Homo-oligomer: A and B are copies of this chain.
């Protein structure tokens, strides 16, 4: 058992930390922030800085310009990236692209990788992952998948409707989950400008850190060639799980960084602001919140690292990532909420970055499986006598 970081990883951590502090945080006050994440020009500048710093897309294979980071290494690097809401965009490790790249690397054909993964890894193309559907389609329950892909010669014809499609607006490629009658759920790759893909609208959400926001997509007779099937027909749910465990964990990593940042801002404020005769953090009512933050950050980090380590051992880690997702999403939420409280009125304003972190983070207890679905799934394991 060993809780230390290998020297090379500690060195990389320090580099990323410096990069975020010096190159990214100053851009937080840049005006090119849209209602749906940083505008393309700002994103390009962030990516250019990360490329110059040698930190772009560190998780993909060296072939694609990355550092081939393992999961524990990602945990360390992505936490640092997350300390600015712009950090994951800069390093090109934001959702859903980070997970999509992971999936393409695992499952796509070399041709598909050249066409889509290479420019994504280079930070010149964005993607989206089109799975979630409005009622009565698939939300938390993937078995309710209502989008269909009917075979028609060498093509499939896709019809259906998706929403909460993060990054749809501005994406160059979509990974589409659809049901092939008789064969099962299947993933397809399609350029977003293909006829038959309609971006109905962007949703108005509490969060703003995801480039492109969250869109509602309609597929109307979208024709996809069978070469654009991702992996095998009928294996869509399996690939979703290949993508899911690591994707859940990388959310934990990034939000852990964001919560740490909020805690640092709140702590600094608690040291400075006076009330009732002393710095407010000297009042236990505030000081205990800071102490609880420290404990929540600590347990969230340990839990993330351990689950990442399990993935690094080659396991699928579904239970571990479920467990980590609940523990971390709830712990960092408590941290963010306390930071708002410590900051008082300012906590609810853009005077500090905390209100933005708070609002952006709320959805984390919901996406990639709400806490309730994970608790249910852990309970089922316990009822079967499996480790949970």
By a beta-carbon cutoff of 8 Å, the part of chain A in contact with chain B is 1-6, 72, 132, 135-136, 139-141, 144, 163-164, 203-207, 214, 267, 270-276, 279-288, 290-292, 294-295, 298-299, 302-303, 305-306, 309-310, 323, 326-327, 340-341, 344-345, 347-351, 355, 358-359, 362-363, 365-367, 370-376, 378-380, 382-383, 385, 388
Contact = CB atoms under 8 A, between A and B. Distances in A.
Nearest to A279: B383
Copies of this subunit:
4
B376 A288 contact: yes
B303 A298 contact: yes
B375 A348 contact: no
A contacts with B: majority SS: helix
A376 B279 CA distance: 14
A326 to B, nearest CB: 6
A204 B349 contact: yes
A382 B295 contact: no
Given A288-B376, A379-B290, A382-B287, A326 B363 contact: no
Contact of A140 (B5, B323, B344): B344
B345 A285 contact: no
A281 B376 CA distance: 10
A6 B344 CA distance: 39
A302 B2 CA distance: 12
